[in-house]
Amino acid sequence: MTTLFDLSGTNALVTGGGTGLGASMAFGLAEAGADIALVVNRHAGSGVADRIRALGRRVVELQADLSSITAIKRVADEAREGLGTIDILVNNAGIIRRTPAVDFTEHDWDDVMAVNAKAVFFLSQAVARGMIERKRGKIINIASLLSFSGGITVPSYAASKGAVAQVTKALANEWAQYGLNVNAIAPGYMVTDNTEQIRNNPDRMKSISERIPAGRWGASDDLNGAVVFLAARASDYVNGHILTVDGGWMAR
251 inside domain: no
- Predicted confidence (pLDDT) per residue in 30-59, tens digit: 999 999 999 997 655 568 999 999 999 999
DSSP state of 190: B
List the alpha helices (DSSP H) in 10-118.
20-31, 48-54, 69-83, 106-113
Residues with a known catalytic role: 157
250 inside domain: no
- Predicted confidence (pLDDT) per residue in 69-97, tens digit: 999 999 999 999 999 999 999 999 999 99
168 inside domain: yes
39 inside domain: yes
Q: What is the pTM of this model?
A: 0.95
Domain count, the chain: 1
pLDDT at 2: 75
49 inside domain: yes
Range of the domain at 219: 2-244
The CATH number of residue 51's host domain is 3.40.50.720
Which residues, in sequence order, are CB contacts of 57 under 8 Å at separation 6+? 30, 33, 34, 35, 36
- Predicted confidence (pLDDT) per residue in 136-174, tens digit: 999 999 999 999 999 999 999 999 999 999 999 999 999
